[in-house]
Amino acid sequence: MRPTALITGAGRGLGAAIARELAPTHDLLLGGRTPESVRTITKELGSARAWPVDLTDHDALAEAVAHIDRLDVLVHNAGVAEVGTIADTPIAAWRHMYEANVLAVVELTRLLLPRLRDTNAHVVLINSGAGLRSNPGWSAYAASKFALRAFADALRAEEPSLRVTSIHPGRIDTDMQRAIVEAEGDDYDPDGFLTPGTVAWAVRNAVETPRDAHPTEIVLRPNPR
């Protein structure tokens, strides 16, 4: 039986790249906010199944999780980012990022724990360099990613049958990154960023690491081309 992997935010960018990396070896559930958001990648990969749900709607999430019978890999990739100084960032933006980047991850993991324990599963959390340090203009986003790292550390300690890996990539060449750079008022240079495929390869490498090792944190920094 092939292992099953659920990837959130799988419709584009890094999530789609992770799906492509895991598709040869895993049966995939591709998470997205709507069916349309994962339609293209689901068709591309053929046997993958769409798993559309708004992760911040906890009632809908509980209903969607009820249909998952087995899970070997859970990749928390979905997230949001907004930049701005503390003075200029409204509390609604803080709340939005915390809901999407932390609470959605917490609740999805909690609901799936019985399935994850059944298979001694691997939980991968796509964090950020902002989960290791906070820079000016990134306070709200960094706070959410620091919280995500704390959650991963606690999950690893409380659930010793699971492997829990935090991935901390630097900036990645994605549509989200283009929006961030535009908000910062800078010119976009993809050669200064990681490619989605490189980060996806790191995820696959963590998942394929033999069971005698536990890859707890992976940090990737761009090497300008």
Give the Cα separation of 151 and 84 in Å (integer): 24
Burial bucket for residue 128 (CB in 10 Å: 0-12, 13-18, 19+): buried
Annotated catalytic residue within 138, 141, 146, 193: 141
- Kindly report the pTM of this predicted structure: 0.94
103: left (phi over 0), alpha (psi -120 to 50) or beta: alpha
Q: Please name which of 97, 58, 72, 117 lies closest in space to residue 180, comparing C-alpha atoms.
A: 97
Q: What does the pLDDT read at residue 225? A: 64
Give the Cα separation of 3 and 23 in Å (integer): 10
| Residue partners of 114: CB distance under 8 A and separation at least 6 | none
Amino acid (one-letter) located at 184:
E
Q: What does the pLDDT read at residue 79? A: 95
Q: What does the pLDDT read at residue 189? A: 79
Q: Helix (H, G, I), strand (E, B), or coil: what is residue 118?
A: helix
Q: Could you read off the pLDDT tens digit of each residue along the chain, which spans 225 residues? A: 899 999 999 999 999 999 999 999 999 999 999 999 999 999 999 989 999 999 999 999 999 999 999 999 999 999 999 999 999 999 999 999 999 999 999 999 999 999 999 999 999 999 999 999 999 999 999 999 999 999 999 999 999 999 999 999 988 887 777 777 777 777 777 787 899 999 999 999 999 999 999 999 999 999 876
Give the Cα separation of 30 and 38 in Å (integer): 7
Q: Please name which of 143, 148, 103, 158 lies closest in space to residue 126, comparing C-alpha atoms.
A: 148
Other C-beta atoms lying within 10 Å of the C-beta of residue 100: 19
Please indicate whether residue 98 is annotated as part of the active site: no
State how far Cα 162 lies from the chain centre. 17
**CATH code 3.30.365.10 for 4-220:** no
Q: What does the pLDDT read at residue 8? A: 98
> Hey, which bits of the chain come out as E strands?
4-7, 27-32, 49-52, 73-76, 122-126, 163-169, 217-220
**Distance separating the N- and C-terminal Cα atoms of the chain:** 41
Give the Cα separation of 150 and 186 in Å (integer): 32
Q: What does the pLDDT read at residue 224? A: 72
Amino acid (one-letter) located at 16:
A
DSSP secondary structure code for residue 145 in this structure: H
